[in-house]
């Protein structure tokens, strides 16, 4: 029940051998350099987070070290240790100057590639340090298959993909739809989405960066009314303005890919209340084995259609 304890482990059973090797090499380097460790209570210290992005279907890994402000002493030794691991394709460094425990900070490349690639359901996805991708690749494919089933596309639909990330759901839906439009606030993720559409030769998708609650009106002017809206919101659920704007679209169908059933329940109450929708189907997907957490895919249909 402690959030501030760091356990010394020799191996994590749900991480790959490569990820365990990356963690061990970074730990040994940290001990050798003598750099201070960040204290979350006192807000002092330097070393904060190690982020490893891994393509389980490609065998490629991207490493991001997040520190507090200050020079990275011994950075050359860290690069030497990590670049010796065959799966590591790029090493980046980010600085978190605030107190919040976040890893999504701007990064500087220390060595190697700017991105790695992963493969999902026949598509290649380019992944940069700040872009989101489901951590459990095998179950991510199952999750998107459920979303595609719930979408029930016939080929002539205009689809909005809200919180689209690097375009994984958009590209999964595109072969079954007329057009797919993705919105994401993280510009780095949109850059990846545009690249992913190009490298997969998917012409009927469009992406642009923007806050979902603020950008929907512009998207509607550009793309017309949606036949289906896919939402894949953060754990906090749909923000108030985004939820209101979603309801105002009056799309015939909504598919919600929720990583938090608790906030899904709150959004469901609004959608099935004044917004005029019925909940037709819900299916949980176990993305996080050995934890109580599940994702849920929910399908809503307008009552008056």
Report DSSP state, residue 224: -
Q: Calculate the alpha carbon distances from 299 to 163, 226, 279 in Å.
A: 17, 15, 6
From the candidates 12, 164, 192, 259, give the one annotated as an active-site residue: 259
End-to-end CA distance of the chain: 48
Residue ranges with strand state E in 171-267: 179-184, 205-209, 228-231, 253-258
Sign of torsion, CA 131 137 139 142?
A: positive
Distance CA 165, CA 263 (A): 20
Core vs surface per residue 75-94: b (16+ CB within 10 A) or e: beebbebbbeeebbbbbbbb
259 is catalytic: yes
Among candidates 136, 147, 141, 173, which has minimal Cα distance to 55?
136
CA 230 from centroid of its chain's CA atoms: 15
Q: Which residues are catalytic?
A: 259
């Amino acid at each position: 029940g402690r959030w501030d304890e760091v356990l010394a482990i020799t191996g994590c059973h749900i991480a790959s051998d490569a990820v365990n090797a990356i963690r061990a090499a970074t730990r040994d380097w940290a001990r050798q350099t003598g750099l201070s460790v960040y204290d979350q209570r006192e807000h002092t210290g330097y070393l904060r987070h190690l982020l490893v992005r891994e393509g389980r279907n490609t065998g490629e890994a991207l490493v991001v070290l997040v520190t507090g402000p200050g020079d990275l002493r011994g950075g050359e030794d860290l690069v030497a240790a990590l670049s010796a691991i065959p799966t590591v394709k790029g090493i980046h460094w980010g600085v978190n100057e605030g107190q919040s425990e976040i890893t999504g900070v701007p990064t500087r490349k220390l060595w190697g590639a700017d991105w790695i690639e992963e493969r999902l359901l026949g598509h290649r996805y380019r992944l940069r340090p700040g872009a989101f991708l489901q951590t459990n690749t095998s179950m991510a494919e199952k999750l998107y298959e459920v979303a595609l089933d719930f979408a029930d596309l016939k080929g002539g639909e205009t689809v909005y993909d809200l919180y689209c990330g690097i375009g994984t759901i958009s590209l999964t839906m595109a072969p079954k739809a007329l057009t797919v439009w993705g919105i994401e606030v993280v510009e780095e993720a949109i850059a990846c989405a545009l690249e992913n559409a190009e490298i997969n030769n998917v012409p009927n998708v469009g992406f642009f960066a923007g806050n979902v609650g603020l950008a929907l009106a512009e998207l509607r002017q550009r793309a017309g009314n949606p036949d289906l809206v896919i939402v894949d919101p953060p754990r906090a659920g749909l923000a108030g303005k985004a939820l209101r704007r979603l309801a105002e679209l009056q799309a015939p169908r909504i598919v919600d890919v929720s990583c938090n059933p608790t906030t899904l329940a709150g959004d469901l109450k609004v959608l099935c209340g004044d917004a005029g929708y019925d909940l037709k189907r819900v299916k949980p997907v176990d993305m996080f084995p050995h934890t109580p957490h599940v994702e849920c895919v929910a399908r809503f249909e307008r009552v008056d259609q």
